[in-house]
Amino acid sequence: MTTKRSGSYARVVDPRGVGAAAASALTRADAEYAGVSSLERLEIQLLLEGVFRHYGHDFRSYAFSSLRRRLRKRLEAEGLDTFSALQSLLLHDPEAMDRLLRDMSVNVTGMFRDPTFFHALRQKVVPILRTYPFVRIWHAGCATGEEVYALAIMLEEEGLYERSRIYATDMNSDALEKAKTGIFPLARMREYTSNYLQGGGTRSFSEYYSANYDAALFDPKLRRNVLFAQHNLATDTSFSEFNLILCRNVLIYFDRQLKERVYKLFADSLASFGILCLGRRESLRFTAVETEYEEFDARERIYRRRR
Amino acid sequence: MTTDAAARARMRPDLIVVGASAGGLKALEMVLGALPRGFPVPIVAVQHRARESGDTFVEVLGRGSPLPVHEVEDDDQLRAPGVYLAPPDYHVLIEPGRVSLSVDDPVSYSRPSIDVLFESAADAYGERVCAVLLTGANADGAKGLVRIKQAGGYAIVQDPHTAESPEMPAAGIASAAVDVVLPLEQIASELVRRAAT
């Protein structure tokens, strides 16, 4: 078992963009541990290949462990025993494919998640943005949009929103439709209010929404300068130049090769001295673009292009 | 013991995964503090804790252990000696030789979830993983232990009588055919013994 597998799985997880040493370590690890569920792994690869070739949805470069978890959930929900059976269902039943798509593209989000990050954004990044006559922002992987509204609120309070444009993108059109409504569960407002205040909010958070049964409807004026659009980080290219890009806890679902692709895409999409914000446990270290940035706030994972 | 089982009992793990909940800080301090400097197997641990618990938790564990203790970053490579602690509000999943993070929904109200860690470790490492379930007041980790055993891994559970909260280790013992149940103070020496085989 330790010698045989040269491994097509290795190609799935094996990043082209990293050093050869790391790559060979991965291949070796893969070969050593492939014994238990190698058949299941093969079935998953075939399923992903089939989905890609038949529907064009490409999940082949997703982080394998999270991907397998989500696929297993779909497998159980469909009452099937093997990924081969699931593959057959997906290929012959577009509605089953839609259900899988929803599973695959749901990213959990919230308002002012990580208040210290929003505090740093307000205290350190806003003063830089203020020096520009016009501020262009890309919120990549915005899911159902909570963080987009949070950003709009912050810009509004800093007197910067009138000259800002937020391009909020996600691969999931259902999520974008939800984001456009600005309706979020009322039950979460207590948590969001607390986050908002810790993150440096200057007003009363309840000014921004009206409660209706169990829903909080956010002021439609908050999205007057937001453009929601479908964009797939895995396959689409750069579409403009930005002063600020936020992409938090999205790339953790991608394998290293795809992460490298997206980091390159961001570097190509940032104006000189543009700012990139990642999630609390993500970083650019060991990536090909690392040297193009300085750590602007290392703790909050805010980077700034060197030129 | 059949030859197969004997061979498995001898197999040195390439990864140790640990789950702890209520009372876990003290239990983890004790286990990690008793391991020798240079312990040759990487350890990934999930401890349920509040989002606000910040860095102090990692610092406390780091001070009490001869091993370097890190809070997991996305894509971290697993190296020994080293302890990798799940960050609050993220699931930690195991890939061969490294970790990845997810912010998928909490599993049984928990994020990080011990089940998520254990199940992904079983998938990636099979019989070359050793799982340790410590004190806690819920049933997280029980499903994960089942997967660890199905994949041929080794399962150690803290004796519920020595646990600050017995529910979690008791649930683990009730669900999976665990290999050994030990009082807290003997868990480190069991890990050393396994790492040396």
Which residue is closest to B153 within chain A, CA to CA? Answer: A36
* Domain termination site, one of A105, A134, A162: A105
Q: Are residues A191 and A76 in the same domain?
A: no
Residue B55 annotated in active site? no
Q: Are residues A141 and A289 in the same domain?
A: yes
Q: Are residues A247 and A203 in the same domain?
A: yes
* Domain termination site, one of A57, A82, A105: A105
Asked whether the beta carbons of A148 and A247 are under 8 A apart, the reply is: no
Residues of chain B found within 8 Å of residue A26, distances taken between Cβ atoms: 96-98
Pull the structure tokens for residue A284: 């650019």
Question: Hey, which CATH number is domain B3-196, 3.40.50.2000, 3.40.50.180, 3.40.50.300, 3.40.50.2300?
Answer: 3.40.50.180
Q: Are residues A124 and A214 in the same domain?
A: yes
Residue B89 annotated in active site? no
Query: What is the pLDDT averaged over residues A222-249?
Result: 95
Residue to substitute from A28, A43, A65, interface B, most B β-carbons within 10 A = A65
ipTM of the complex: 0.90
Q: Could you read off the pLDDT of A93-133 as tens digits, one per residue?
A: 999 999 998 888 777 789 999 999 999 999 999 999 999 99
Residue among A297, A241, A249 nearest A127 (CA):
A297
Q: Are residues A293 and A211 in the same domain?
A: yes
Q: Could you read off the pLDDT of A44-100 as tens digits, one per residue?
A: 999 999 999 999 999 999 999 999 999 999 999 999 999 999 999 999 999 999 999
Strands (E), chain A: 135-140, 164-170, 183-185, 209-212, 215-218, 226-230, 242-246, 270-277, 293-297, 302-305
Which residue is closest to A31 within chain B, CA to CA? Answer: B96
Alpha-carbon gap, residue B41 to A40, rounded angstroms:
27
Domain membership of residue A1 (yes or no) is no
Provide the residue ranges of all domains of chain B, joining segments of one domain with +.
3-196
Residues of chain B found within 8 Å of residue A37, distances taken between Cβ atoms: 123, 126, 151
Q: What is the CATH number of the domain that holds A249?
A: 3.40.50.150
Alpha-carbon gap, residue A271 to A7, rounded angstroms:
41
Q: Do B120 and A65 touch (CB under 8 A)?
A: yes
Structural domain span for residue A41: 37-105
The enclosing H or E element of B102 equals: strand B98-102
Residue to substitute from A5, A36, A262, interface B, most B β-carbons within 10 A = A36
pLDDT at B11: 80
User: A96: distance to nearest CA of chain B, Å?
Assistant: 21
Q: Do B74 and A13 touch (CB under 8 A)?
A: no
Q: Are residues A197 and A257 in the same domain?
A: yes
Its pTM stands at 0.89
* Domain termination site, one of A105, A130, A157: A105
User: A134: distance to nearest CA of chain B, Å?
Assistant: 33
Residue B104 annotated in active site? no
Which residues touch A5 (CB under 8 Å, ≥6 apart)?
A30, A31, A34, A38
Can you spell out the DSSP letters for A108-121? ---SSSSHHHHHHI
Give me the number of domains chain A comprises.
Answer: 2
Q: Do B100 and A63 touch (CB under 8 A)?
A: yes
Alpha-carbon gap, residue A244 to A282, rounded angstroms:
17
Residue among B49, B55, B170, B167 nearest B111 (CA):
B49
Q: Are residues A256 and A282 in the same domain?
A: yes
